[in-house]
Chain A
Amino acid sequence: MRVELIVNGERRTVEVEPRMSLLDCLRERLLLTGAHAGCEHGVCGACTVLIDGAPARSCLMFAVQADGYAITTIEGVTPAPGELSPIQDAFCETHGMQCGYCTPAMILTAHALLADNPDPTRADIVDAICANICRCTGYAQIVEAIALAAERMRGLNQPARKP
């Protein structure tokens, strides 16, 4: 079947079997390998992408179901070659990862959270990421990364404070 996806702002037409998951379509057809397969039954969250801005499990969705939707992958939130978004940079600052496998999904989840809630509490952050399993970090440095990113992003475009 032919589907039209809007991926990271670009219209992409792909020919897929009806049973192909959105995750497989992104990885194998569009070569966007930042989304990862972890469990393929919707628990671990490693395949998370944003669909119309909301986090979704790309392993639980068929590519054909995504027809017409705006899909954002980790490749789409990276500002430019060699550059990092404030959230990506905050994950580096706190070392909010180890093996890096769950990281793109965590960062997309954080993007969705901070778009809705620029000043989240620890509990808000934990709620937002509780459906993304990280086996390496015990989550502490991930929670800190998101809090740090929120703080920095709230400061953006603000006049510099006078000493």
Chain B
Amino acid sequence: MTAKSFRFVSTDRRVREDRRFVVGKGRFAADIAAAGTRHVALVTCPHPAARILAIDKAAALAVPGVHYVLDGRELAAATQPLLAGLDTPKVPRRPLAVDVGRYAGEWVAAVVAETRALAEDAAELVRVDYQPLPFVLDGEAAYAPGSPIVHADHGSNVLLDRTFVWGEVEKDFAESPHRLSLCLKWGRSSTVPVETFAALASWDPWREVLDVYASVQMPRFPDQVALALKLPGSSVRVHNDVDVGGSYGVKRGIKHAVLVGYLSRRLGFPVRLVEDRLENMRAGDGHGPERNFDIEVAFDEMGLIRSMKMRALDNVGAYAGRSPFQLGKPIGAIVGPYRIQSVQYRAIAVTSNKTVQEAVRAFGQSPTNYAIERVIEEVARHRGLDRLEVRRRNLIRADEFPYLIPSGTTYDSGDYHAVVDKVVACADYAALVAERDRLRAQGLLAGIGIAACLEPSGANSTFEPLLNPKNETTTYTDSCRINVDLSGAVTATVHTLSAGQGHETLVGTVIGEVLEIDPDRIRVVRPDSLTSLPSQSPVGSRMAIMLGGAAFHAAQNLKARLLAIAAHDLKIAPERAAYGAGDVFERSAPQNRRTWTELVTIAHRNFHRLPPNTEPGLAFTHVMQVPTGGQLPTADCRVQMYPCFAFEFHLLLMAIDPDLGKPEIKRYIVGHDCGTVINPKIVRGMTMGGIAHGIGAALYEEFAYDAQGQLVAQSLMDYLLPSAHEVPPVEIIHHVTPSPHTVFGQKGSGESGYLGAPAAIASAVNDAVRPLGIVVNSLPIKMAQLGDMIAAARDKSNTVEAPK
């Protein structure tokens, strides 16, 4: 299918969800009020590690309007630990701490009261006696022998320590004339949605159903809640028709839902927890990767990288859910867009006494992309070559696709050089360099940032069996059902919640395209989890591929049925029938036709006119398997991770005030190829938002801890989200290399921008400060730190110059 043949796909259509949001009629979890709802506030552990000696609830329970104080022991006795990704049974994770608190802010008890304000008052009256314990904050320290151990029963802080070797790494190193090594750090930040997490649970003891309304983005969420509460899956009804106020990965919320679910069953009324910002930042369990890299690469005179050894150590915090898998996903793009022949990858996940890490946009790929891009720049510097030229030499060429990388994943398609060329031409690279030099001549520090990065998309969950041999997951479904009712109206389904990705628009557009009818006439609804088909959630840039694919196939099935009904009714051979905009007609005699309305009537009412063995009605479902998925990893740990690979190339000019260290982005251009774009407004927004988030992660955002183990960034005054002032205008240059694996050639774009922006910003800063002899190898690069480094470098150079 070529782009020209589309009616609705790739056209600049409005996003249907927007109409409810602009009038304030989004339906967010905190907007849902069940009659008689009581509210939760939390008692939290003030120490990074402490034994809980006693909990005295009396004073809190004496407050009028306070209903209950729940502690960790009671909850643990009645529930299962939350599901962990790795096989680590001695690291149980529960909503409330049991006997030991393992990070400052961890929930120790939950107070239930008539209002949230009363619950907060009472939480202050719960007296907990603690015995502080030794703690560890730094990931490398936690990994070292002799460290305090976060989970004593586990015996160490190591959750994962695996080394993979793909290809002839030692031989390639021995045969390469040059090598260099680099230590890098990706700081702890996250997505920090404007809406905090909210969950409302209501148990109906007569129907034996727990209704859950939560702002969630979590694969297998209903299953996990049911497992933890020891309920059959059919007793947990998660409502998918709740709008999620931003997530970008982190709104996992199992512990919140289990907590309010248990309380509602225990107490017999609906119970709600809406995090305040402090609860969200300290114990929403939504911090992102905090990763140390040690990298060594072998390369030749030309700067061609032949082999890479990467050690990545992630500090996942006090407990583990799916977070260690964030070291697994990058295996599917471990060489980035480059032709590196062999790789040794060591992935280490350790616990520490920090807040729990969860999935963050790109699921670990953005830090790895940053590391690869820093390496490329150092190789260029080592060889005295231009950074752009070294990238071009190493990039996979268009004629090499499909391209098999050493770790066993085949990249589907791409034309990286074409995207780079477009961006370089559009930016007028020579003029950009001249502008940088002009700024430098004015006394500013100025640098050009470059990054070439991949966005793996169409999320599969293949890292699960790769990192946990007990887990044999080889499918990761999404689904769609289409029903044409008696009036001829079309209704289609989405079986997850959405957090602004426009899935209703996606489904309408895809079905409209197949059926050749106005997408706005297609109703899209979200059945609850008990009436849903197997679906995951919008993770890993998958929905255009997976939900779009499911909607496409369901619509194709509907179309095939209409053709069969019409051919039978017209008494013509099926191959002589053709479909056009809802009607079916005889190819050679178009006046010989059945209209949409006639076909709908036959399907619903005239069984005698249906072809033999045809189900009446017009209801079609498709459960989508991930393209290229379905295989377990090979014995030598090679795996097809995700099916599709989008490409982005960032180029920017930054000026830094040498006295303040304040960065200013003067120009930002990004080339983006995510295959066929289904909705241009949505893809553009995702990319812009991803870049803004990447700017934050690179320059402003950090969950910093003090030496006492307290989280320092506890409010949005300490954790700085980019405002409209910090995000520059961005020029986007599109390129389209369709994917061979998807129905329209689309790839994912939900994480675009964020995959490369941090690397690009780091590149610009380093280009700017290199003349002072400064190299910055950690993110975020905060203004104050940068200012100090610049001042120190200038003092040093002044001291050296003084003897002259």
Asked whether, in the complex, the Cβ of B193 is within 8 Å of the Cβ of A94, the reply is no
Q: Is B383 an interface residue (CB 8 A)?
A: no
Nearest neighbor of A76 in chain B, beta-carbon distance:
B24
When chains A and B are docked, how far (Å) is the Cα of A59 from the Cα of B547? 38
Asked whether, in the complex, the Cβ of A40 is within 8 Å of the Cβ of B277, the reply is yes
Asked whether, in the complex, the Cβ of B21 is within 8 Å of the Cβ of A97, the reply is yes
Asked whether, in the complex, the Cβ of A130 is within 8 Å of the Cβ of B248, the reply is no
A43 surroundings in chain B (CB, below 8 A): 715-717
Q: How far is the CB of B654 from chain A (nearest CB, A)?
A: 17
When chains A and B are docked, how far (Å) is the Cα of A32 from the Cα of B685? 28
B521 surroundings in chain A (CB, below 8 A): none
Asked whether A92 and B14 contact (CB < 8 A) given A98-B501, A100-B20, A133-B723, the answer is yes
When chains A and B are docked, how far (Å) is the Cα of A140 from the Cα of B729? 7
Q: Is A88 an interface residue (CB 8 A)?
A: yes
When chains A and B are docked, how far (Å) is the Cα of A132 from the Cα of B716? 12
Cβ 8 A contact of B276, one of A40, A88, A98: A40
When chains A and B are docked, how far (Å) is the Cα of A141 from the Cα of B682? 10
Asked whether, in the complex, the Cβ of B24 is within 8 Å of the Cβ of A135, the reply is no
When chains A and B are docked, how far (Å) is the Cα of A3 from the Cα of B273? 28
B18 surroundings in chain A (CB, below 8 A): 91-92, 95, 97, 100
Asked whether, in the complex, the Cβ of B681 is within 8 Å of the Cβ of A94, the reply is yes
Q: Is B689 an interface residue (CB 8 A)?
A: yes
Asked whether, in the complex, the Cβ of A100 is within 8 Å of the Cβ of B21, the reply is yes
Q: How far is the CB of B756 from chain A (nearest CB, A)?
A: 14
Asked whether, in the complex, the Cβ of A88 is within 8 Å of the Cβ of B195, the reply is no
List residues of B (401-435) whose CB comes within 8 Å of A's CBs.
none
List residues of A (72-98) whose CB comes within 8 Å of B's CBs.
73-75, 78, 84, 88-89, 91-95, 97-98
Q: How far is the CB of B775 from chain A (nearest CB, A)?
A: 29
List residues of A (32-84) whose CB comes within 8 Å of B's CBs.
32-41, 43-44, 46, 73-75, 78, 84
Q: Is B500 an interface residue (CB 8 A)?
A: yes
A37 surroundings in chain B (CB, below 8 A): 30, 196, 274
B717 surroundings in chain A (CB, below 8 A): 41, 43
B21 surroundings in chain A (CB, below 8 A): 97, 99-100, 103-104
Asked whether, in the complex, the Cβ of B22 is within 8 Å of the Cβ of A103, the reply is yes
When chains A and B are docked, how far (Å) is the Cα of A98 from the Cα of B690? 12
A122 surroundings in chain B (CB, below 8 A): 729
Q: Is B246 an interface residue (CB 8 A)?
A: yes
A27 surroundings in chain B (CB, below 8 A): 30-31
Asked whether, in the complex, the Cβ of B716 is within 8 Å of the Cβ of A139, the reply is no
When chains A and B are docked, how far (Å) is the Cα of A134 from the Cα of B248? 13
Most buried by B among A37, A91, A95, A133: A95
List residues of B (651-683) whose CB comes within 8 Å of A's CBs.
681-682
List residues of B (514-552) whose CB comes within 8 Å of A's CBs.
none
Q: Is B485 an interface residue (CB 8 A)?
A: no
A126 surroundings in chain B (CB, below 8 A): 724-725
Q: Is B117 an interface residue (CB 8 A)?
A: yes
Query: Residues 270-288 of chain B: 1 if any A CB is under 8 Å from the residue's CB, otherwise 0?
Result: 0000101100000000000
B277 surroundings in chain A (CB, below 8 A): 38-41
Asked whether, in the complex, the Cβ of A135 is within 8 Å of the Cβ of B499, the reply is no
B23 surroundings in chain A (CB, below 8 A): 34, 74-75, 78, 84, 88, 104
Q: How far is the CB of A124 from chain B (nearest CB, A)?
A: 11
Asked whether, in the complex, the Cβ of B243 is within 8 Å of the Cβ of A100, the reply is yes
List residues of B (185-206) whose CB comes within 8 Å of A's CBs.
191-196
Q: How far is the CB of A96 from chain B (nearest CB, A)?
A: 8
Asked whether, in the complex, the Cβ of B20 is within 8 Å of the Cβ of A141, the reply is no
Nearest neighbor of A99 in chain B, beta-carbon distance:
B500
Asked whether A135 and B192 contact (CB < 8 A) given A41-B717, A43-B716, A140-B729, the answer is yes
Q: Is A25 an interface residue (CB 8 A)?
A: no
Asked whether A92 and B15 contact (CB < 8 A) given A34-B24, A101-B194, A138-B730, the answer is yes
Q: How far is the CB of A150 from chain B (nearest CB, A)?
A: 16
A46 surroundings in chain B (CB, below 8 A): 194-195
Asked whether, in the complex, the Cβ of A137 is within 8 Å of the Cβ of B14, the reply is no
Q: Is A161 an interface residue (CB 8 A)?
A: no
Asked whether, in the complex, the Cβ of A36 is within 8 Å of the Cβ of B685, the reply is no
Query: Residues 684-703 of chain B: 1 if any A CB is under 8 Å from the residue's CB, otherwise 0?
Result: 11101111110000000000
Q: Is A148 an interface residue (CB 8 A)?
A: no
Report, as a range, how many residues of chain A touch the other chain.
35 or more
Q: Is B26 an interface residue (CB 8 A)?
A: yes
When chains A and B are docked, how far (Å) is the Cα of A102 from the Cα of B693? 16
When chains A and B are docked, how far (Å) is the Cα of A75 from the Cα of B31? 14
A22 surroundings in chain B (CB, below 8 A): none
When chains A and B are docked, how far (Å) is the Cα of A48 from the Cα of B753? 29
Q: How far is the CB of B647 from chain A (nearest CB, A)?
A: 19
Cβ 8 A contact of A139, one of B33, B686, B727: B727
Q: Is A129 an interface residue (CB 8 A)?
A: yes
Q: Is A143 an interface residue (CB 8 A)?
A: yes
Nearest neighbor of A140 in chain B, beta-carbon distance:
B688
Asked whether, in the complex, the Cβ of A95 is within 8 Å of the Cβ of B681, the reply is yes
When chains A and B are docked, how far (Å) is the Cα of A53 from the Cα of B801? 60
Q: Is A107 an interface residue (CB 8 A)?
A: yes
Asked whether, in the complex, the Cβ of B685 is within 8 Å of the Cβ of A141, the reply is yes
When chains A and B are docked, how far (Å) is the Cα of A127 from the Cα of B15? 27
Most buried by B among A73, A74, A125, A139: A139
When chains A and B are docked, how far (Å) is the Cα of A109 from the Cα of B721? 19
Asked whether, in the complex, the Cβ of A135 is within 8 Å of the Cβ of B246, the reply is yes
List residues of B (8-40) whose CB comes within 8 Å of A's CBs.
14-15, 17-26, 28, 30-31, 33
Q: How far is the CB of B563 from chain A (nearest CB, A)?
A: 36
B274 surroundings in chain A (CB, below 8 A): 37
When chains A and B are docked, how far (Å) is the Cα of A88 from the Cα of B14? 13
When chains A and B are docked, how far (Å) is the Cα of A140 from the Cα of B753? 14
Asked whether, in the complex, the Cβ of B716 is within 8 Å of the Cβ of A99, the reply is no
Asked whether, in the complex, the Cβ of B730 is within 8 Å of the Cβ of A140, the reply is yes
Q: Is A112 an interface residue (CB 8 A)?
A: no
Q: Is B502 an interface residue (CB 8 A)?
A: yes
Q: How far is the CB of B234 from chain A (nearest CB, A)?
A: 30
B685 surroundings in chain A (CB, below 8 A): 95, 98, 136-138, 140-141
Asked whether, in the complex, the Cβ of B725 is within 8 Å of the Cβ of A135, the reply is no
Q: How far is the CB of A78 from chain B (nearest CB, A)?
A: 5
Asked whether, in the complex, the Cβ of A98 is within 8 Å of the Cβ of B716, the reply is no
When chains A and B are docked, how far (Å) is the Cα of A147 from the Cα of B33? 37
Q: How far is the CB of A101 from chain B (nearest CB, A)?
A: 3
Q: Is B244 an interface residue (CB 8 A)?
A: yes
Q: Is B81 an interface residue (CB 8 A)?
A: no
Q: Is A153 an interface residue (CB 8 A)?
A: no
Cβ 8 A contact of A41, one of B22, B194, B716: B716
Q: Is B512 an interface residue (CB 8 A)?
A: no
Nearest neighbor of B116 in chain A, beta-carbon distance:
A24
When chains A and B are docked, how far (Å) is the Cα of A99 from the Cα of B681? 14
Q: Is B245 an interface residue (CB 8 A)?
A: yes
A99 surroundings in chain B (CB, below 8 A): 21, 193-195, 243-247, 499-500
- 16 A–B contact pairs at CB < 8 A? A33-B28, A38-B195, A39-B715, A40-B277, A92-B18, A95-B14, A99-B245, A99-B499, A101-B26, A101-B243, A126-B725, A135-B192, A135-B721, A136-B689, A137-B688, A140-B685
Given A94-B681, A134-B194, A138-B688, 6 new contacts (CB under 8 A) = A43-B716, A98-B689, A135-B194, A135-B246, A137-B692, A141-B684
Closest 5 CB pairs of A and B: A34-B24, A100-B21, A99-B500, A101-B245, A98-B500
